[in-house]
């Protein structure tokens, strides 16, 4: 019942007779405007999602997720520290000391 009513109202304004051509024109332009707006929004969201992914990959390519530093100087005996960190991190790609 509700779908029939919605279609009835939509078609009534979109397919108005000769007497109400301006109302029909305005209704069609409103539908076209909303359609273009939705298409533009979908494109912008898709582009921004791709940009976010690309930015994340580039930033993590330069810097790592975890950086361990000692205040006031270099880390002495960092090989043992790297072994301990390696045991704690299950999903790791690699460790490097510098």
Three-point CA angle 45, 48, 52, nearest 5°:
135
Full pLDDT tens readout for the chain, 98 residues: 568 888 888 888 777 777 777 877 888 888 899 999 999 999 999 998 888 888 877 877 777 777 777 788 877 888 888 888 888 887 777 777 76
- Cβ burial, residue 37 (10 Å; 0-12/13-18/19+): exposed
The pTM score is 0.48
Please give the radius of gyration of the chain, using alpha carbons only, rounded to the nearest integer.
30
> Residue 15: its pLDDT value, please?
79
> Residue 95: its pLDDT value, please?
72
């Amino acid at each position: 019942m509700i779908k029939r009513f919605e279609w009835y109202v939509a078609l009534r304004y979109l397919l108005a007779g000769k007497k109400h051509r301006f109302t029909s024109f305005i209704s069609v332009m409103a539908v076209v405007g909303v359609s273009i707006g939705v298409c533009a929004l979908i494109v912008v969201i898709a582009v921004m999602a791709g940009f976010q992914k690309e930015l994340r990959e580039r930033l993590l390519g330069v810097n790592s997720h975890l950086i361990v530093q000692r205040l006031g100087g270099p880390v002495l005996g960092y090989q043992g520290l790297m072994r301990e960190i390696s045991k704690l991190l299950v999903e790791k790609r690699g460790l490097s000391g510098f």
